[in-house]
Structure 1
């Protein structure tokens, strides 16, 4: 088939293609197109986890906390910040879930803007972001200003300019929209919010590891992101939080736990927060869950973030080209920006029969991600996904739609 021949040529010319051998193989897999939900594991992680259990956990036991574990959330946070987030040291920490970290930072941000009664978010933001924001608004007596966005796009600079004002305490947006893949103009939006005196919190779940992030350069205040998507940390891997250095000692996060205390092992009667980024931790860090993230950050650093982004753009361009040729005749609509400057690392396709064929695809080891009511997200992780794999997956969608169309 011509499309597969073209894909093979793209793979042959791809300087990152060799990194696919670094991931745990799955001989039955035809196409994994859901890296934006759960990244594939690295071979190095298999070895790291075995070594950790046998040598550190089994060998050092409780001594591991004093020897190396206690500072892992901040040490790995610094590495992640430098390689992936455009963040200088001392501003990023890893621990808790995305949900918990969102609550901590939203609650701290609105408390830091007393007298302001409004928070701004878009209606198409990820459910957790919206739900946590609703909970904090109810808890603190705040009003949410909801922005309506194009389902195939996302929040624009013009919308934010019209929405923020003297009552705005915080704006919360996703850098890459989870549904459409829209890539927000983060620096410009941050500047607008600051001009109104508001703080800005960026959700980086769908951008960290595949899209350039420059938190320090943007002047961002706060950010949260997960590590199980393009950072390949595994199911339920802990999330990260970024807090700009100048804000750290003035923000008070609401979940006071012993690890975030000034001296955790003093076991003092009253809570005294640590200085710096560690004050945003709460409970005992999930050290075992942090191990896979170490490997993926190292791999991104080795491959080069710019090269990863370049392949992400190529993969999504290729997916759109193939979808236009194979799937548009079925009535499939591309629900992502066609401008690569405004697109993350997944392509959303829409068709009313997708809810019918997704189980058919999964049963045949073609794995896209379905989102109600009628969309498939083609999530393309540049270091583990080839052009041939992407093409095979889209061909399988074409074949499944032909079967459904024949049944009609």
Structure 2
């Protein structure tokens, strides 16, 4: 396999925090200078045409990566903000008012969903002890009172990979709006939005996509656009943003209606550069490499220590371990320069395309003492 380590900024430590922040591609600063600062520094009377072109490049890069169209993607600051815009735009609930999610979803998403109670919805959690990978769990929970279901593709605290396409088949059949969170899977698990046929997909570029913070995105099925009218709007949400008539507002006919006011350009420029690199490497290749490295760790530890699925096909990119004498293990990892973190279910290790077998050898030595 091609060695892509030199395509990213170097790191002296063994960096396994890709579930948190992916490492920056080389040349990001030069790309940012060319596509963001150059027009501004040149004294050009209007840098906005180049900046908007850069945002178009960001949306086009997302479309290439996830098999969709650029107009279906709207830049967002983060997933929680995007979710709040979707919730705020839903029609008032009538006979259906439940918004379903799981107790193991990322807390920030849960916080946003719980605010929907102020709009007349009833947030309802699938209990933490129910397995989100089992279709029976969703079949039982997606009752006739459910309006919207939040489906997390890869769980942050367990590494479990949920069969989104099977769940969205259920939601479509039952007339339930599906919202999919791909924060922990985008860039390390291949995603084809045409195959999923979800209604809304929310993502971020800060993790496996290596695009830094602030470059979130919202994707919406064009058939669903007209049914959601967000309250959080601005001139970029307008069908004619340069009309400048304060007496007239008309929602954009595509995902842009979720945009809001003046956009934050710089994060989109940074992320566009990273998305292009991830696309050229190929998510299939990143997935294969990640599985090969994580499986080596799985094979080296007691199966009882695993908090992520043993089957690599059921795992996202993150391995979660709860080990005997974990404090001592964590100290050995830190002393060896391994970058990891710990959550309630255990320590998390997430190798990317720039990690090597040598890195994993060092990790295994620390785990085995």
TM-score, normalised by the number of residues in structure 2:
0.92
Task: Kindly indicate whether the alpha-carbon contact (under 8 Å) linking 2:215 and 2:271 is maintained by their aligned counterparts in 1.
Answer: no
Q: Cα 1:163–1:364, aligned 2, differ >3 Å: closer, same or farther?
A: same
- Which deviates the most, 213-222 or 203-212? 213-222
Residue 99 of structure 2: aligned partner: 119
Q: Report how many aligned residue pairs link the two structures.
A: 368
Q: Cα 1:54–1:212, aligned 2, differ >3 Å: closer, same or farther?
A: closer
Residue 50 of structure 1: aligned partner: 33
Counterpart of 1:202 in 2: which secondary structure? strand
Counterparts of 1:68 and 1:114, CA distance in 2: 45
Counterparts of 1:346 and 1:25, CA distance in 2: 21
**Residue by residue, what CA displacement relative to the aligned partner does 1:27-81 show, whole Å, maximum 9, x if unpaired?**
x31x11111110011112122123345523312556121x232254444223212
Task: Kindly indicate whether the alpha-carbon contact (under 8 Å) linking 1:122 and 1:155 is maintained by their aligned counterparts in 2.
Answer: no
Residue 380 of structure 1: aligned partner: 351
- Which deviates the most, 197-206 or 211-220? 211-220
**Residue by residue, what CA displacement relative to the aligned partner does 1:341-398 show, whole Å, maximum 9, x if unpaired?**
21111100013654576466446521112113x51111122x2211221221332344
Counterparts of 1:146 and 1:54, CA distance in 2: 45
1:76 maps onto 2:58 in alignment: yes
Q: Cα 1:199–1:60, aligned 2, differ >3 Å: closer, same or farther?
A: farther
Counterparts of 2:244 and 2:364, CA distance in 1: 57
**Residue by residue, what CA displacement relative to the aligned partner does 1:211-268 show, whole Å, maximum 9, x if unpaired?**
011222111100101110011112x232011000111123112201122122323332
Residue 405 of structure 1: aligned partner: none
1:365 maps onto 2:337 in alignment: yes
Counterpart of 2:170 in 1: which secondary structure? helix
Task: Kindly indicate whether the alpha-carbon contact (under 8 Å) linking 2:336 and 2:362 is maintained by their aligned counterparts in 1.
Answer: no
- Shift of residue 162, structure 1, vs aligned partner: 1.0
Structure 2 residue runs without a partner (length 5+): none
Q: 1:63 aligns with which of 46, 51, 67?
A: 46
Counterpart of 2:27 in 1: which secondary structure? helix
Task: Kindly indicate whether the alpha-carbon contact (under 8 Å) linking 1:180 and 1:336 is maintained by their aligned counterparts in 2.
Answer: yes
Q: 2:166 aligns with which of 161, 164, 188?
A: 188
1:145 maps onto 2:128 in alignment: no
Q: Cα 1:37–1:266, aligned 2, differ >3 Å: closer, same or farther?
A: same
Counterpart of 2:276 in 1: which secondary structure? helix
Structure 1 residue runs without a partner (length 5+): 1-14, 400-408
Residue 39 of structure 1: aligned partner: 22
Q: 1:87 aligns with which of 43, 68, 93?
A: 68
Higher helix share: 1
TM-score, normalised by the number of residues in structure 1:
0.84
Residue 206 of structure 2: aligned partner: 228
Q: Cα 1:55–1:71, aligned 2, differ >3 Å: closer, same or farther?
A: closer
Q: Segments of 4+ in structure 1 off by > 6 A? A: none
Task: Kindly indicate whether the alpha-carbon contact (under 8 Å) linking 1:225 and 1:240 is maintained by their aligned counterparts in 2.
Answer: yes
Residue 243 of structure 2: aligned partner: 266
Task: Kindly indicate whether the alpha-carbon contact (under 8 Å) linking 1:96 and 1:239 is maintained by their aligned counterparts in 2.
Answer: yes
Counterparts of 1:54 and 1:184, CA distance in 2: 41
Q: Cα 1:355–1:38, aligned 2, differ >3 Å: closer, same or farther?
A: farther
Counterparts of 1:20 and 1:112, CA distance in 2: 50
Counterpart of 1:70 in 2: which secondary structure? helix
Q: Cα 1:247–1:338, aligned 2, differ >3 Å: closer, same or farther?
A: same
Counterparts of 1:170 and 1:142, CA distance in 2: 10
Task: Kindly indicate whether the alpha-carbon contact (under 8 Å) linking 1:358 and 1:370 is maintained by their aligned counterparts in 2.
Answer: no
- Shift of residue 305, structure 1, vs aligned partner: 2.5
- Shift of residue 145, structure 1, vs aligned partner: 2.6
Residue 24 of structure 1: aligned partner: 9
Counterpart of 2:124 in 1: which secondary structure? strand
- TM-align CA RMSD: 2.3
Counterparts of 2:106 and 2:187, CA distance in 1: 19
Task: Kindly indicate whether the alpha-carbon contact (under 8 Å) linking 2:96 and 2:144 is maintained by their aligned counterparts in 1.
Answer: yes
Residue 301 of structure 1: aligned partner: 279
Task: Kindly indicate whether the alpha-carbon contact (under 8 Å) linking 1:78 and 1:91 is maintained by their aligned counterparts in 2.
Answer: no
Counterparts of 1:62 and 1:208, CA distance in 2: 38
Task: Kindly indicate whether the alpha-carbon contact (under 8 Å) linking 1:121 and 1:146 is maintained by their aligned counterparts in 2.
Answer: yes
Counterparts of 2:306 and 2:185, CA distance in 1: 20
